[in-house]
């Protein structure tokens, strides 16, 4: 199908197909993206011999950069989970800040503990502590759980080494350290306003009468036979890979030929940084506390099965983006969007937000949005790729409702009605998305 209008029509059909297959037909996102990729290839008249090879190159090009990084990040998250490190962070912050600031504690815990773990894992991991605090203080579960969920979602969408954020960083050619820095600058205020501040405005602090019965049935804190790891060593373990990657970015002014520049560049590479972090976690959260190598091997093996789905989705998303470029849709989209007079940052945010709302997956939304905004970077050489990564992540935070598994995790674990979850949690994610967009626009005027 020739001409820009025809190419854009094919893109529209492919996106509609993704939405229908995932939402209505209940097809896995990997298969939906695969089908959409072939629709793009066939609809744009690509040679049949190149459709499969383009898909293969897209998968390989994306996962070649990400597979090891995602695997290492998953090991780090599993170590934090099984050692009790996340509980240690939560308990220490709660003891330091006090139960009166419990909503702020939950927001901070979500932001810190959420760095190496997926949203659902982080929420399920920390919900026992929410139950204990709610039972002891008679605070509404929503009052505690929503700030935790909002901060976890913010980190999940905006901060590497989370898979989607890392994938978009690679696709747009952004510096990982800059994405981390900008993600923190935008993400922390976003989590504050859409977490503790938002929930205070829309939810009563006192627990409803039916909460006591819910906690009686669900609110048991997991018993541990061993002591939890120390707060400082846990925090260092979580932050170590981020620090290494950020130091690499901050050292950009060093002479390229110097030994220091080469060493810092090597240590700050995402792969090297995560290898170092995992090795450190094996000691700090494992062997230092008496764990054997056999036990560490079991933890490592348990961290890999959940990755199958996320790797396939990201690989297929990369292939879909590759198909858009090879078919000429990318150039047609860039040309069309260039005449729309929309700010590219707003456009990236809007596409990611609409995709998340439609398909119920922040990962699919971010991968799809990245493929559609990538051609814009060539036409805006002064626009920072790192800013665009943050804009895509900001859009993907919003639109978390009944099509997203994260919504049902929050609703069920907090024991609230559908309407309550939509008002408090979904409303909070929409607010977070808008705030993150505003902060990203502001930051774009300050950095290059």
Neighbouring residues of 317: CB distance < 8 A, sequence distance ≥ 6: 33, 62, 167, 363, 364, 367, 368, 370, 371
Kindly report which listed range (142-151, 227-236, 306-315) carries the lowest average pLDDT score: 306-315
Looking at residue 95, its pLDDT comes to 86
pLDDT average, residue stretch 207-222? 76
Q: Are 139 and 211 in contact (CB under 8 A)?
A: no
Looking at residue 301, its pLDDT comes to 93
Neighbouring residues of 211: CB distance < 8 A, sequence distance ≥ 6: 134, 140, 141, 415
CA angle 14, 19, 25 (to 5 degrees): 115
pLDDT average, residue stretch 376-394? 88
Looking at residue 444, its pLDDT comes to 93
Residue 130 has pLDDT above 80, yes or no: yes
Average pLDDT along the chain:
87
Half-sphere exposure of 15 (CA within 13 A, CB side): 22
Instruction: Give the tens place of pLDDT for each residue, 303-320.
Output: 888 788 888 888 888 888
- For the ranges 100-114, 174-188, 261-275, 339-353, the one whose mean pLDDT is highest: 174-188
pLDDT average, residue stretch 157-162? 90
Question: CB neighbours (10 Å) of residue 149?
Answer: 34
Looking at residue 397, its pLDDT comes to 95
Instruction: Give the tens place of pLDDT for each residue, 355-373.
Output: 888 878 888 889 888 888 8
Instruction: Give the tens place of pLDDT for each residue, 14-71.
Output: 888 988 888 788 888 899 889 999 999 999 889 988 899 999 998 888 888 788 888 8
Neighbouring residues of 7: CB distance < 8 A, sequence distance ≥ 6: 1, 44, 327, 328, 329, 332, 333
Q: Are 152 and 110 in contact (CB under 8 A)?
A: yes
pTM confidence score:
0.84
- pLDDT interval class at 225 (50, 70, 90): very low
Residue 222 has pLDDT above 70, yes or no: no
| 114 three-state secondary structure | coil
Residue 333 has pLDDT above 80, yes or no: no
Looking at residue 3, its pLDDT comes to 67
Residue 337 has pLDDT above 80, yes or no: no
Instruction: Give the tens place of pLDDT for each residue, 260-296.
Output: 888 998 999 989 999 999 999 999 999 998 889 999 9
pLDDT average, residue stretch 88-98? 86
Looking at residue 4, its pLDDT comes to 76
């Amino acid at each position: 199908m020739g001409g820009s209008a025809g190419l854009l029509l094919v893109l529209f059909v492919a996106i509609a197909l993704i939405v229908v297959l995932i939402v209505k037909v209940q097809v896995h996102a990997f298969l939906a993206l695969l089908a959409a990729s072939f629709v793009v290839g066939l609809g744009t008249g690509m040679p049949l011999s190149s459709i499969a090879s383009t898909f293969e190159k897209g998968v390989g090009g994306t996962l070649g950069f990400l597979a090891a990084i995602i695997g290492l990040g998953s090991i780090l998250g599993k170590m934090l989970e099984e050692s009790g490190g996340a509980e240690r962070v939560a308990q220490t912050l709660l003891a330091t800040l006090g139960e009166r600031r419990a909503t702020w504690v939950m927001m901070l815990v979500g932001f810190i503990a959420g760095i190496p773990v997926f949203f659902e894992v982080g929420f399920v991991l920390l919900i026992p502590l929410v139950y204990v605090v709610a039972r002891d203080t008679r605070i509404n579960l929503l009052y505690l759980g929503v700030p935790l969920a909002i901060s976890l979602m913010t980190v999940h969408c905006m901060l590497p080494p989370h898979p989607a954020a890392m994938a978009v960083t690679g696709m747009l050619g952004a510096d990982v350290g800059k994405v981390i820095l900008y993600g923190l600058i935008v993400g922390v205020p976003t989590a504050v306003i859409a977490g503790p501040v938002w929930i205070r405005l829309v939810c009563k602090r006192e627990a409803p009468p039916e909460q006591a019965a819910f906690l009686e049935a669900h609110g048991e804190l997991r018993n541990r036979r061993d002591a939890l790891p120390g707060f400082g060593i846990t925090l260092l373990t979580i932050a170590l890979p981020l620090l290494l990657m950020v130091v690499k970015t901050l050292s950009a002014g060093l002479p390229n030929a110097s030994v220091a520049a080469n060493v810092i560049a090597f240590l700050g590479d995402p792969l090297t940084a995560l290898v170092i972090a995992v090795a450190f976690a094996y000691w700090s959260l494992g062997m230092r506390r008496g764990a054997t190598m056999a036990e560490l091997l079991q933890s490592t093996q348990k961290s890999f099965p959940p990755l199958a789905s996320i790797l396939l989705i990201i690989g297929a998303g990369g292939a879909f983006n590759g198909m858009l470029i090879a078919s000429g849709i990318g150039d047609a989209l860039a040309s069309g969007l260039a005449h729309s007079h929309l700010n590219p940052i707003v456009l990236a945010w809007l596409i990611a937000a609409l995709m998340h709302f439609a398909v119920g997956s922040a990962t699919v939304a971010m991968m799809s949005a990245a493929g559609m905004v990538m051609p814009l970077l060539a036409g805006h050489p002064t626009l920072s790729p790192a800013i665009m990564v943050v804009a895509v992540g900001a859009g993907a935070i919003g639109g978390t409702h009944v099509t997203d598994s994260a919504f049902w995790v929050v609703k069920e674990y907090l024991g609230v009605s559908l309407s309550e979850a939509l008002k408090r949690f979904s409303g909070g994610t929409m607010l977070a998305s808008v705030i993150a967009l505003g902060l990203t626009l502001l930051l774009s005027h300050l950095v290059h």
